[in-house]
Amino acid sequence: MSIIDAVMWSVHVGFAVLWTGSVLFVALAVVPPATRGDIGGDALAAVVGRLRWITRIAALAFLASGGHMAGTLYTVETLTGTGRGHLVLTMLALWFVITGLVEVASGKLLDGVDAGKLREPARDAKPFFYGAAGLSVGLILTAGLLANPTGV
């Protein structure tokens, strides 16, 4: 493994941990108290705004690092014709869907907070955050399968 490969793997895994952990944290530790009105609007906006930025920066990191790994490890045939390739494509699909869910949820929540509301926007965003959290667990499980050295 070259230095660049090691750097790309590290960037990819590091951002994956940061991003999925952030999605799970917001969905499980921030949204429930927000629906009860137990969190101030400014604090909620700061946390959700940070998640939005983490999501966007992670997207760039995933594009660069994942693109490098896919380009050096796979061909079109191995991506579409092997179990490991299918896992990579599954991860890619999950990444797109989770990113979309986070963007929709954070947009709903931040628009509501900007309008001076808290509970209603949190309730409106909750299914999207919960969906993103559930799919994040699926993404982690898929990554675990892909990391299995014995293959799939």
**What is the mean pLDDT, run by run of 10 residues, along the chain of 152 residues?**
91 96 98 95 96 96 93 91 94 96 97 93 97 97 88 64
pLDDT for 147 equals 87
Angle formed by the axes of helices 83-114 and 41-73, nearest 10°: 160
User: What whole-number distance in Å separates Cα of residue 146 and Cα of residue 137?
Assistant: 14
Residues whose CB is less than 8 angstroms from the CB of residue 109 and which lie 6 or more positions away in sequence, other chains included? 34, 44, 45, 48, 121, 122, 124, 125
- Position 149 scores a pLDDT of 78
Phi-psi group of 151: left, alpha or beta (phi > 0 → left; psi -120 to 50 → alpha; rest → beta): left
Give the per-residue pLDDT at 6. 93
CA distance 28 to 24: 6
Enclosing H/E stretch for 54: helix 41-73
Query: What local confidence, expressed as pLDDT, does residue 20 receive?
Result: 97
| pTM attached to this predicted model | 0.92
CB under 8 Å to 99, separation ≥6 — which residues?
55, 59
Assigned token pair, 7: 């750097």
pLDDT for res 130: 98
Q: How far apart are CA 31 and CA 115, in angstroms?
A: 18
